[in-house]
A and B are shown apart, each in its own frame.
Chain A
């Protein structure tokens, strides 16, 4: 774990679930989501610090992805409120959440296979005049903007080392490259916060290092990052703050070292494994 302004800002906070942060960007309040009779998420209080990397951990079925889905507008909550950058975004449709500056990626990457890598990037740019149906027929009105978008897309592709694949169909990329593309594409939206759902899943170890590097770079540029991950080592290595969920609730949070030693976290992982050793069901 590196020393940076985010860790300094978070130093000295209580390691209690739901602890108040000095400068929260995302504030979650009493959010629940049940499927049938099963409560998948029940989070009383959760704040995500601006400009920090927050790792969200927990065993399979802890409700991490469901929480992501609810907060990003891809699922609805049964109860509760959440605000982003001071605005209430409870129950907002997914595209409106993204326009507020909260952009997410998916556990199973959603690259658009039959579009080229560059087209994937261009799609994500916001405020495009040419995306209006009537104006689409008048290229002179959007060509200039399109050039700027391509320039920015090229910079990001360069940074994520995808420039050589620029004109290839995204469907031809490897799993790791898709993760990179999805992250780069999310950045085209110019988000305030990016939520990564298992960014390291299915990525080979060499690429994992480079992905981690990209995440810390983003933080160093002032971006807020929240990600879901199973691999404790990865989380401990780069997170400024770690939140642990089990059975739908937040059971512990704090700086990585503190959470790593927290008995509630150990219980969550080991207890779960003792109870249901063969449970391979997805977080859904």
Chain B
């Protein structure tokens, strides 16, 4: 087994663009779940409308990339309002079910033959982000450190993606430590108390849903742009569950939780993946027990097991405070 390959795979994945995209989407989810206590199980739907907002605007309608970004943001706001209006006055479970259903509805519609003229159906859309890569100021060269190397293109994607993560983490830090954030965190604790003090809980929940959803759509845009392609089947409801896993891993309700969670999640996942494949390749694991094709399934099963164990034994995550968890009366 080549440990150097395994380690460099894990490292590359942990700091890679996908980790950044998931960190960004989880920052939005953290506002919903970690700070406001909203059970949004359809963050992937926000990512999808963001991604297609950009892709369809450019590919199908010939608009500029920036116009596409605005379209994607507008779609995410509309989606949040549509989901929030009927459910935010009801018990938390309603939002959970409405959002998970909405994510699946969107995926099915965007991939359908019916929507094919706009979304490309099951084939998706490609090559819509040339403007983004043309704007790359980094000279063509190979940049590397330790075990990994990046092209100037990779570096540009990483710079923008992690730049967005830093930007939104900063915004989030400011917001949750403001009086607005105080109201939001109080709603998570006990919304009746907040209501009895004259705050419109509904309005604050809606603001949280819209803003966190918009951050999710930006993550979706970044995912689409760095791939230069969108395909509805990438936006599976299961992805939201991964976001929950990494958020709980890092620490929900902490500014750095989603970032640390995403880096670790992808590094560990890729480590397992790479190690299993190497072990099968080297004959340590018999193909009768586990074939290379089944590694993907095993790794998802491990995510599930990891999520269960985390929530049971360390619900506060890596950067959360144990003391605060113990105050949880529910």
Contact = CB atoms under 8 A, between A and B. Distances in A.
B128 interface: no
A172 B207 CA distance: 31
Most interface-central of A104, A111, A124, A133 (chain B CB within 10 A): A133
Contact of B175 (A128, A129, A136, A172): A136
B207 A133 contact: yes
A137 B178 contact: yes
Interface in B177-208: 178-183, 185-186, 189-190, 192-201, 207
A169 B197 contact: no
Contacts of B312: none
Interface in A168-193: 169, 171-172, 185-186, 188-189
B183 A131 contact: yes
Interface string A122-142: 111010111111011101001
Interface of B: 171, 174-175, 178-183, 185-186, 189-190, 192-201, 207, 211, 323-324, 327-329
A154 interface: no
Nearest to B208: A133
Given A95-B195, A95-B199, A103-B197, A110 B178 contact: no
B189 A113 contact: yes
Interface string A58-95: 00000000000000111000000000000000000111
A119 interface: yes
B179 A114 contact: no
B197 A137 contact: no
A141 to B, nearest CB: 10
Given A112-B186, A137-B174, A172-B327, A128 B179 contact: yes
B196 A98 contact: yes
B195 A94 contact: yes
Contacts of B194: 95, 123
A147 interface: no
B200 A112 contact: no
14 contacts: A73-B195, A74-B192, A95-B200, A98-B195, A98-B197, A110-B193, A112-B185, A123-B186, A124-B198, A130-B178, A131-B179, A136-B174, A139-B178, A146-B179
Most interface-central of A95, A103, A171 (chain B CB within 10 A): A95
Specify the main secondary structure of chain B where it touches its partner: helix
Given A133-B175, A136-B174, A114 B182 contact: no
A269 interface: no
A99 interface: yes
A264 interface: no
B325 to A, nearest CB: 9
A112 B190 contact: yes
B254 to A, nearest CB: 12
A113 B329 contact: yes
B144 to A, nearest CB: 37
Contacts of B199: 95, 131
Nearest to A73: B195
B174 A122 contact: no
A115 interface: yes
Contacts of B200: 93, 95
Nearest to B326: A171
B55 to A, nearest CB: 29
A115 to B, nearest CB: 6
B197 A185 contact: yes
B182 A119 contact: yes
Nearest to B195: A94
A160 interface: no
Contact of A131 (B180, B190, B324, B328): B180
Given A133-B211, A136-B175, A104 B196 contact: yes
B247 to A, nearest CB: 17
Contacts of A132: 180
Contacts of B207: 133
B183 A112 contact: no
Contacts of A172: 327
A142 B182 CA distance: 13
Contacts of B211: 133
